[in-house]
């Protein structure tokens, strides 16, 4: 039986990964400091004898014996990662270094959850993995953008110098059940506001685009790439269907039957205007395909928020 460590395992994506690895027969260690994760996301797994919860911050070293490491541990929304930007940078750099140290000692395979934010406000569209990005290194988003870029650097240096078995993925906008209703992300914001009947907060004129991936599709891609032999990445994972933010708001309003009104605010600093993954490499390496269209995924997510928030 393999032992899998999911750092950030009580978070939105991490909790779905815990479920998936348990279903594959692994012993799963869910490690989280609960800064943004929630025990409610994994409480249904606690009765499983192959599942353990460890309260710990990866900024501090820890000694564990594992076969797989998924590093999902970092605040991933602007509201959370800008709340303590120095801590965010420490999580990306020191935290990733600590997990790579475990991988070096035990021979574990480590998958680093990087982000589309490494591309910044892109000058190339859609964004292929070969694009090096356009990031403001001193902006308010830099603690996350540059932290994740530095984490990628660490992964490849640990591979080159110590032979650590790594996988690096770049996650594009993901949504679904267990999103934090207070995380400030566009999907959760719109759904929570629509269900409450309050104004829908639209930043900019709503013409900026995003590509929204349902969490089940993303987790399938993550686990498939983790098990892909002879490949390190980085590889984009997400959905390449492109929608304007205003289109998303109109879909949410229609699907919830809400009478909320759109209210426009200035676009935040360094917010990318367009974001869409080039998935050519993922399709080649792991036959990656998304199966859940936006309307279906939104319906599932709205149902979750209706019953849990």
**Residues carrying an active site annotation:** 144
82 Cβ neighbours under 8 A, 6+ residues apart = 88, 140, 141, 143, 144
Q: Which of 281, 158, 148, 167 is nearest to 233 (CA)?
A: 167
Angstrom distances, CA of residue 114 to CA of 121, 152, 194: 16, 7, 30
Q: Exposed, middle or buried, 8 (CB in 10 Å: 0-12/13-18/19+)?
A: buried
Q: Please identify which residue in the block is written with the tokens 């110590």.
A: 162
Contact 6, 37 (CB under 8 A): no
CA dist., res. 279 & res. 257, Å (int): 34
């Amino acid at each position: 039986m393999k032992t899998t460590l999911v750092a950030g395992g009580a978070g939105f994506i991490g909790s779905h990964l815990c479920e998936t690895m348990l279903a594959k027969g692994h012993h799963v260690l869910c490690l989280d400091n609960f800064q943004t994760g929630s025990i409610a996301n994994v409480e249904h797994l606690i009765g499983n004898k192959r599942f353990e919860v460890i309260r710990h911050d990866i900024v501090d070293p820890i000694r564990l014996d594992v076969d797989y490491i998924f590093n999902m541990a970092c605040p991933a929304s602007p509201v959370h990662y800008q709340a303590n930007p120095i801590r965010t940078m420490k999580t990306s750099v020191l935290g990733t270094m600590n997990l790579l140290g475990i991988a070096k000692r035990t021979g574990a395979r480590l998958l680093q959850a990087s982000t589309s934010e490494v591309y910044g406000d892109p000058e190339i569209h859609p964004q292929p993995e070969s694009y090096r990005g356009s990031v403001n290194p001193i902006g308010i988003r830099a603690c996350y953008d540059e932290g994740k870029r530095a984490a990628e650097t660490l992964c490849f240096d640990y591979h080159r110098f110590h032979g650590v078995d790594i996988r690096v993925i770049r996650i594009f906008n993901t949504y679904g059940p267990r999103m934090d209703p207070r995380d400030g992300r566009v999907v959760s914001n719109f759904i929570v506001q629509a269900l409450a009947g309050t104004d829908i907060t639209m930043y900019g004129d709503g013409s900026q685009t995003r590509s929204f991936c349902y969490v089940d599709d993303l987790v399938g891609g993550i686990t498939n790439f983790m098990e892909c032999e002879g490949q390190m990445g980085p590889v984009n994972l997400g959905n390449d269907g492109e929608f304007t933010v205003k289109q998303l708001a109109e879909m949410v309003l229609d699907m919830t039957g809400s009478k909320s009104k759109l209210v426009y605010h200035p676009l935040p600093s360094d917010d990318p205007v367009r974001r869409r993954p080039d998935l050519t490499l993922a399709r080649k390496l792991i036959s990656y395909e998304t199966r859940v269209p936006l309307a279906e995924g939104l319906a599932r997510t709205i149902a979750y928020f209706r019953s849990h928030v």
